[in-house]
């Protein structure tokens, strides 16, 4: 089976500083990979390279058949296949939930208003927020706003979704409701790469855990590896947290 996402020896520099030093891992269809590691280890940069928000200086990245580092990459086609959700939800405050979700469908996919509305209803049902379809972002909790952001990404029917610390700004109760939505997506077969500090989630939901340290993939395994780390670095990371 071919990988949905495949990084091979990826090198990323900012000026003279090398922040990814030959990163390789791949993600099969329907697989959930948790990307963990200390702050500054290169997790966000790796995600941003996958979506071509950053260019790379060495190695290769293949995503849904796109050669991401190729000069002639069709970025628009790549971004249609890859959904990304960040810590900040970035909903438009002057638009209600339905309008926030419909915007890209109308502009990028040229969906009719009624088609877009139908999709908005379907994805809101998936994240358990259909009853908030007419609400404005300020009327929602942080967890609800993040679930809308996930729904907005889902509406574009991505083949793979990238999550970058999507619960880091939320208190524990709201974190739980967002993680449950992500677990539901995982069970539904979505291919996902999840940067997270939620070790319980990584251990339980991820098919594979990739531990990054100083710009390198340091340890890879199933969720069980969190219970029996092989390297001193992962041991210390799990003991000390961030």
Q: Which stretch binds ligand ADP (CB under 6 A): 35-43, 97-105, 111-119, 220-228?
A: 35-43
- Given the structure tokens 């339905």, which residue do they identify? 98
Residues in binding contact with ligand ADP, number by CB under 6 A = 10
- Smallest CA-to-CA distance from 50 within 193, 203, 218 is with 193
Q: Which stretch binds ligand ADP (CB under 6 A): 39-47, 134-142, 177-185, 229-237?
A: 39-47
Residues in binding contact with Mg ion, number by CB under 5 A = 1
Helix (H), strand (E) at residue 8: strand 3-14
**100: CB partners within 8 A, 6+ apart:** 91, 92, 137, 148, 152
- What is the nearest approach in angstroms of Mg ion to the Cβ of residue 165? 6
Q: Which of 5, 10, 19, 166 binds ligand ADP (CB under 6 A)?
A: 19
Q: Does 38 bind Mg ion (CB under 5 A)?
A: no
Q: Which stretch binds ligand ADP (CB under 6 A): 38-46, 64-72, 149-157, 202-210?
A: 38-46
Query: Mask: binding to ligand ADP, 55-84, rule CB under 6 A, as x and -?
Result: ------------------------------
| The pair of three-digit structure tokens given for residue 118, joined into one six-digit string | 């139908």
Instruction: Residue 42: name its binding partner from ligand ADP, Mg ion, none (Cβ under 5 to 8 Å by kind).
Output: ligand ADP
- What is the nearest approach in angstroms of ligand ADP to the Cβ of residue 45? 3
Helix (H), strand (E) at residue 179: helix 172-187
Say if CB 97 and CB 134 are below 8 A apart: yes
Q: Which of 36, 42, 160, 162 binds ligand ADP (CB under 6 A)?
A: 42
Q: Which is nearer to Mg ion, 47 or 160 (CB)?
A: 47
| Alpha carbons 189 and 80: distance in angstroms, whole number | 18
Q: Does 44 bind Mg ion (CB under 5 A)?
A: yes
C-alpha torsion sign, points 97, 102, 107, 109: positive
| The pair of three-digit structure tokens given for residue 234, joined into one six-digit string | 């992962």
Q: Which is nearer to ligand ADP, 86 or 89 (CB)?
A: 86
Going by the DSSP 8-state scheme, the letter that residue 166 receives in this structure is T
Q: Does 167 bind Mg ion (CB under 5 A)?
A: no
| The pair of three-digit structure tokens given for residue 23, joined into one six-digit string | 């990163």
| Alpha carbons 213 and 46: distance in angstroms, whole number | 12
Helix (H), strand (E) at residue 118: helix 113-126
Instruction: Residue 45: name its binding partner from Mg ion, ligand ADP, none (Cβ under 5 to 8 Å by kind).
Output: ligand ADP
Q: Residue numbers of the site for Mg ion (CB under 5 A)?
A: 44
């Amino acid at each position: 089976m071919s990988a949905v996402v495949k990084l091979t020896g990826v090198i990323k520099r900012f000026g003279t500083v090398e922040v990814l030093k030959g990163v390789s891992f791949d993600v099969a269809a329907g697989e959930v990979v948790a990307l963990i590691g200390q702050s500054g280890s290169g997790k966000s940069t790796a995600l941003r390279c996958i979506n071509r928000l950053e260019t790379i200086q060495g190695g290769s990245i293949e995503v849904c058949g796109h050669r991401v580092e190729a000069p002639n990459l069709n970025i628009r086609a790549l971004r249609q296949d890859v959904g990304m959700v960040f810590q900040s939800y970035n909903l438009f405050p002057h638009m209600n939930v339905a309008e926030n979700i419909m915007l890209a469908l109308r502009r990028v996919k040229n969906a009719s208003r009624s088609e877009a509305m139908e999709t908005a209803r379907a994805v809101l049902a998936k994240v358990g927020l259909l009853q908030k379809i007419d609400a404005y972002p300020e009327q929602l909790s942080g967890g609800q706003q993040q679930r809308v952001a996930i729904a907005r990404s889902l509406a574009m029917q991505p083949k793979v979704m990238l999550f970058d610390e999507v619960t880091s700004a939320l208190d524990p109760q709201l974190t739980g409701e967002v993680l449950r939505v992500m677990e539901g997506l995982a069970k539904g077969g979505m291919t996902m790469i999840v940067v997270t500090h939620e070790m319980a989630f990584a251990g339980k939901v991820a098919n594979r855990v990739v531990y990054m340290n100083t710009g390198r993939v340091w340890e890879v395994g199933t969720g069980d590896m969190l219970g029996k780390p092989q390297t001193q670095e992962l041991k210390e990371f799990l003991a000390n947290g961030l």
